Structure 1
Amino acid sequence: MNTRGLSLCLLLTISQLVGCGGSGNPIGTVNGKVTLNGEPVSEAYVMFEPVEGGRSSFGITDTDGNYQLTYMAENDGALVGEHTVRITTQRGAKRDDRGQITQPGVKEKFPPEYNTESTQQVTVESGRNEINFDVISDKK
């Protein structure tokens, strides 16, 4: 998946979170911490995609690397079952109406096996789930 594809995927996930109504599907709350080479990672997008299909869940890490997933605007958590996890820090540059860069882009800190070519699988159970990601990488 290229950068544009990953960005589109993130936008679709965010738009799903703004949806209405309760899910009716079993969900478990999910929170945890993301570290890279032992250091917490802030502003990383964490996405859980159900392997069996269905709505993805999404969260953003805080300055201490902690995240909490949201399934829908009024429901925290993720569908119960197996998920592929994607973690990314990459952002495109933001521009104003004149095309001037107002915020520079951010390069990806995580290796592809955590985002575009994710090999990360987790199981969400009903109730509370603490799922941490301690990533070791030599990616510069």
Structure 2
Amino acid sequence: MTAFPSPLGLGILAVATCSLLASCSGGGPQTATVTGKVTYNGRPVTAGSLTFLPKTQATGRPASGVISEAGEYFTGTFNERDGVLIGVAAVSYAPPPIDNKGEKIVYGAPPPQGPYDGLVVKVREVEIAPGSNVIDVELIPATKP
């Protein structure tokens, strides 16, 4: 003899499942899509990465994006393309690592410089709005203190 769950048992199971799914998908911080282009002197920057550090959420997790050879980027906070936490974010740029192409490293000598070393983001804070955001980033030389 096969036992079937009662309608009341099925109803309780359905409510519990919906509650669990709602708390997992909608209860966390909200992100918004952020994409754009990165330029220096009007030309695309073809390597490096951007970081968006939330300033309006005390426990905000940073988002990052790798810059493509076309100078474009997209961002991710919890996965590769889910965007940036909504609110004000500080933006920073990191140049790509330098490949010394097998050259001997001389200790005490200045490290080799890449084409994007010493550059910083011109506008260092941006507002991330709900939905889709296109934020083009211009790099400028860092000022020396």
Which TM class, normalised by the smaller chain length? 0.5 to 0.7
Say whether the 8 Å CA contact 1:93–1:106 is kept in structure 2. no
Q: Which runs of 5+ in 1 are unaligned?
A: 1-20
Which residue type is aligned with residue 114 of structure 2? Answer: K
Residue type of the alignment partner of 1:128: S
So what's the TM-score if we normalise by structure 2? Answer: 0.61
Q: Distance in 2 between matches of 1:112 and 1:62?
A: 17
Structure 1 residues 26-76: Cα deviation after superposition (integer angstroms, max 9, x where no partner): 111000000111111112211000113310000011111000001112651
Q: What secondary structure is seen at the aligned counterpart in 2 of 1:63?
A: coil
Identity %: 28
Q: 2:37 aligns with which of 29, 33, 39?
A: 33
Distance, in Å, in 1 between the alignment partners of 2:123 and 2:80 is: 29
Offset, 1:107: 3.1
- Any conservation in 2 of the 1:113–1:119 contact (CA below 8 Å)? no
After superposition, the C-alpha distances for 1:62-109 in whole angstroms (9 at most, x for unaligned) are: 11100000111265100000010001214255899xxx77xx965372
Q: For the aligned residues, what is the CA RMSD? A: 3.4
Matched residue pairs, number? Answer: 111
Distance 1:35 1:56, change over 3 A: same
Runs (5+) with no aligned partner, structure 2: 1-23, 106-110
Counterpart contact for 2:119–2:140, Cα < 8 Å = no
Cross-structure match for 2:20: none
Larger radius of gyration: 2
Q: TM-score scaled to structure 1, two decimals?
A: 0.63
- 1:42-57 matches, within 5 Å, as 42-52=46-56, 53=58, 54-57=60-63
* Greater fraction of residues in strand: 1
Cα 1:26/1:105, change in 2 over 3 Å? farther
For the pair 1:125 / 2:129, whether they are aligned, the reply is: yes
